[in-house]
Amino acid sequence: MTKLKSFDPNAVQMFDSSGKIPSGLLQGSWTDLGAFDECLALPSSQYCLVYSKIPLIWSRKYEGFFHPSNQQLYNHDSNPTFHRLISQYGHYFLQMNITTGICLPLGCSVDELRLLLISGLSSHNSGLQFDVDSCQTHSYPVPWKKHEIIAASILLGVVIANIIGSFTSSVPILRFFDVPSNLDKVLSSPQHTPFPCLGGIKSLTMIYLICGHVVWGLLFNSFDNLFALPSTLVNPLGLSVLLGPDTVETFFLVNGLEMMTLFLTKSPSSLSSSPNFPLTIFLLLRWFRFAITVGWFICINIIVFSDHFRVAFGGPFWHHLQSAASISSTCASTWLNHLFLISHYFNSPENWNTCLLADWYLEVDFIYVILFIFFITPFLGNKTFKPILNSTLIILVGTLITAIITIVYDVQTSWLPTNFVSNQFAKYLVYIHSKPWAHLSPYFFGVIQAFAMNSDKPKINKQLIDGN
């Protein structure tokens, strides 16, 4: 009875809140997050995520979960029985980590926890290496920061303007905030276009892409039997999810097709009420349309991923470097680069500016418009052969640059969502996926396709080229 009375209820609650080595590890169960809320309900506790992995003695190009390796992956000094059990699934460890939630007293440091794990499990000789992410503590009320106040003021101001503008559209400035009128414009079909279906195709590609990301997001914490994932995905529904990233290339192809069709079939007056429409204004208006959307989402991210939302809705992964914790502060420091559509051109695998991940394709598309105008338009008044030739050369240049970067920087050539962002995945995002050279082929193939679909002689007016 004396021993029972000496039990510390807080210690029992911390132990109960901690995750364990996942059951079903040999079937691909990779995560046991424990009880996050129960742990942080104690004012004297902290919640940490522990990542463990097998040290690989070699590296290879990323091949996903569908290509097991027959090569020796591990150090021979480690437990041979353990390695023999997982040898047929060893290639999964190139992308995945075993993740466990640990509840500890505030007095324990990250270094102490790391040493404790190493010493406590070394006797098993599993060869696992451990690392600890930044730990989370009990949430207290947090003050509003300057960038949060500015972002909240912008959001609140726009919402109020939309409410007033919807009922008082007669005021010249407020008519831009007339919600019913703007929705009607957004949902209406493009006027005077020979291919009205292109807008619908582009919308469907983006909807498909969003749905694909949502599916992977729902699977994120459901890796209870990850080793069965390849066989699960080899069906029409699974393959449709895997083909989701191809919709980005379809988006760029349709954009190139639309842009070339516009210049082939329309006069300058179709782009502006003035027949003397300079290209600089065309580019400025196109950038301004993107910049407003990007600015709006920057403000949303600053608020939604602030510490105020973390206190109310935060979970185990909030403080992970590539998760929600860094988004609000990164948006506050990189908002100008995002607004000018250049942020993703300065990323690195160590810091890829996780403010807005989805605006990279707007940056790429805007670069393509500039290339299109300055490499294609000047030749349209003479022959169709020259722009087709230039488009082909641009495609070859993009393919060559992508191949060189892949070889020089040892970058993987495809991706699958993984439990956490690996270095290989980060390199792919930074050097390939979010850069213009990787998507030149579909965009300018769309440009070439426009010539095939518009067999008549180009109708472009030289006034559009000269801007006078």
One-letter amino acid at 51 equals Y
Distance separating alpha carbons of residues 466 and 147, to the nearest angstrom: 43
Distance separating alpha carbons of residues 280 and 370, to the nearest angstrom: 10
Which pLDDT score is estimated for 427? 84
CB 383 within 8 A of CB 368: no
Please tell me which residue, 35 or 374, carries the higher pLDDT value: 35
pLDDT in tens, 266-292: 544 444 444 445 677 878 888 998 999
Q: Which of 69-73, 359-363, 456-460 has the lowest mean pLDDT?
A: 456-460
Which pLDDT score is estimated for 299? 95
Total residue count of the chain as it appears in this document: 468
Q: Which of 111-120, 251-260, 327-336, 424-433 has the lowest mean pLDDT?
A: 111-120
Residue 227: is it exposed, middle or buried by C-beta count within 10 angstroms (0-12/13-18/19+)?
middle
Which pLDDT score is estimated for 2? 44
Residue 238: is it exposed, middle or buried by C-beta count within 10 angstroms (0-12/13-18/19+)?
middle
Which pLDDT score is estimated for 295? 95
Mean pLDDT in residue range 392-402 = 93
Q: Tell me whether strands 98-105 and 31-32 are parallel, antiparallel or unpaired.
A: parallel
Q: Is the pLDDT reported for residue 401 higher than 90? A: yes
Mean pLDDT in residue range 149-154 = 95
Joined together, the tokens standing for residue 341 give: 């559509």
User: 129 - beta bridge partners?
Assistant: 53
Q: Which of 116-120, 204-208, 413-417, 462-466 has the lowest mean pLDDT?
A: 462-466
Please tell me which residue, 305 or 379, carries the higher pLDDT value: 305
Q: Is the pLDDT reported for residue 105 higher than 70? A: yes
What average pLDDT is seen over the chain? 76
DSSP 379: G
Which pLDDT score is estimated for 271? 43
